[in-house]
């Protein structure tokens, strides 16, 4: 629901329904939350909620992504996964600070 809301802000109107769905699906895939796509944010772990926040930032396919200590407090596996994602985003042309 969180991602759908923010996608509606970025792509308002019925004519953009397909673009919203595509952006949400891409963001969920990027942060590896496909299996939890229908879960409410309150039911997610702290690390998963961090990934939802990152997914919101990715909805608009930004050229520049500014993150403030994105891996603080995350377990080592999730930290590695996020760094892999950052490298993929950089490979697509996103500048990450």
* Interval 15-60: pLDDT, tens: 888 888 999 999 999 998 999 988 888 898 888 888 898 999 999 8
pLDDT digits (tens, 9 = 90+) for 71-93: 888 889 888 988 999 999 999 99
1 has a pLDDT exceeding 90: no
Task: Give me the sign of the Cα torsion angle 28, 34, 39, 43.
Answer: negative
Other C-beta atoms closer than 10 Å to the C-beta of 83 total 12
Please provide residue 63's backbone torsions phi and psi, each rounded to the nearest 5 degrees. Answer: -80, -30
Which domains, and CATH codes, for the chain?
2-96 (3.40.50.300)
* pLDDT value, residue 13: 87
* pLDDT value, residue 78: 85
pTM of the shown model: 0.82
């Amino acid at each position: 629901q969180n991602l759908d809301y923010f996608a509606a802000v970025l792509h308002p109107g019925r004519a953009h329904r397909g673009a919203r769905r595509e952006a949400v699906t891409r963001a969920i895939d990027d942060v590896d939350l496909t299996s939890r796509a229908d879960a409410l944010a309150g039911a997610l772990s702290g690390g998963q909620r961090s990934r939802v926040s990152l997914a919101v930032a990715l909805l608009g396919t930004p050229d520049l992504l500014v993150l403030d200590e994105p891996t603080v407090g995350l377990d080592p596996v999730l930290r590695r996964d996020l760094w892999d994602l950052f490298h993929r985003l950089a490979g697509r042309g996103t500048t990450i600070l």
